[in-house]
Structure 1
Amino acid sequence: MTSDPSHEKRAIRAELRERRRTRPAHVVDTANLGFTENLIALAKETGARTISAYLSTSFEPDTRPFLNWALADGRRVLLPIARQDGLLDWAEGDGETETEGLYGLPEPVGGILGPIAINDADLIIIPASAVDARGTRMGWGRGYFDRTLGSMEKCPPVFAVVFDDEILDEVPREVHDAPVDGAVTPTKIIRFSR
């Protein structure tokens, strides 16, 4: 009998969500400085002029300092807006204005560009609950980013943002799971060979 990857994922996500919830504030603050530094280094290294990223929730690594840097540096920032049909629309972020969207997720306020706007990105930064050494990413269970990445004809580098202890030996993989090219942690930028 083989185990069901979706059940395994739910159990791992619950553990990781609890770990994030109970991580001490001073540890998170220090980690967020590292995340920002490494995201900036990655953007500079790739030369990305249009960056697709996301507005982090309260339990995710804080992406806002990086987004503010990108905007101040003259880079275009595309941020997702979740739709009921499981697709993502995109809007250009201004670093200041946001609202609560579907599922209580923070979203940018601005003109909606539609799902194909992601094709303009030179670098895609996405949330994750964990990533393994093969580049298998486990999200939070709604599949928005897997669908988006799976629909792209030509995908730029994709990096997941996770804490160091969320780089696991292996995460359960399902057919629809889109792999990532790398991960950004508070201490390093990891690249996976695919």
Structure 2
Amino acid sequence: MMKKELRKETQNRRGMLSEGEILEKSSAIAQKLKAFPAYQAAQNVMVYIDFRGEVKTGEIIQDLISSHKRAIVPICVPKTREMILSHLKNPAEELAEGTFGVFEPKEEYIRPVAPDEIDLVIVPGVAFDRKGYRIGYGGGYYDRFFEKLPKKIPAVALAFDLQLVEKVPAEVFDQAVDYIITESEIIQCK
């Protein structure tokens, strides 16, 4: 199956989840992540801000802030298809709807962070296989970002069980994640 079809099919499956199911499963995933050694050891965690039925990250962002860790969020730059990273301190005050309808820090709250300052990356996506290959929304933002990231930094994808597929058609530039955490399991990909 082609990426485009796989993306659409998985988004449709994910779209069948009720808001309650999304919250319940997201919370189960957040609990697994919080107990995960790489997360516990990390001080600077890059985490996406969820939208459109993705695994919710609000609980994780709050946990990072209350644990005195740095919650670092991506800001998409459509012109270059790159991401700027910014340290988020107070989501309620600092975020506004940005590119593609995703919440991002307002300009006055952008506190740039270099990719090599990160200890752990939490990655969104639409579909994943057990080797860690992912299908995102087609912009290539994360693939480009992974190229700049020191290899030693673990990437953890958050996904619902229903987002796991048998095989993602991977291309040369596609970067696999190291782990996938779903509501029922932690998958070590590499």
Distance 1:11 1:45 in 2: 33
TM alignment of 1:170-185, pairs within 5 A:
170-185=167-182
Q: How does the TM-score come out when normalised to structure 1? A: 0.88
The equivalent residue for 1:92 is 87
Distance 1:28 1:153 in 2: 32
Code of the residue aligned with 2:110 in structure 1: it is G
Residue segments in structure 2 that go unaligned for 5+ positions in a row: none
The answer to whether the Cα contact below 8 Å between 1:131 and 1:168 also exists between their aligned partners in 2 is yes
The equivalent residue for 1:124 is 121
Paired residue total: 185
Give the one of 154, 160, 166 matched to 1:169.
166
SS of equivalent residue, structure 2 residue 121? strand
Alpha carbons of 1:24 and 1:111: their partners in 2 closer, same or farther (altered >3 Å)? closer
Cα shift at 1:112:
4.1
The equivalent residue for 2:142 is 145
Cα shift at 1:35:
1.6
Cα shift at 1:160:
0.9
The equivalent residue for 2:25 is 31
Residue segments in structure 1 that go unaligned for 5+ positions in a row: none
Cα shift at 1:43:
5.8
The equivalent residue for 1:16 is 10
Q: CA RMSD in A?
A: 1.7
The answer to whether the Cα contact below 8 Å between 1:128 and 1:139 also exists between their aligned partners in 2 is yes
SS of equivalent residue, structure 2 residue 173? coil
SS of equivalent residue, structure 1 residue 82? strand
Alpha carbons of 1:62 and 1:154: their partners in 2 closer, same or farther (altered >3 Å)? same
User: Are positions 1:57 and 2:51 aligned together?
Assistant: yes
Cα shift at 1:44:
6.1
Which whole-Å deviations, capped at 9, do the CAs of 1:37-84 have from their partners, x for residues lacking one?
A: 112122665500110111100311110111101110010111000012
Code of the residue aligned with 2:80 in structure 1: it is D
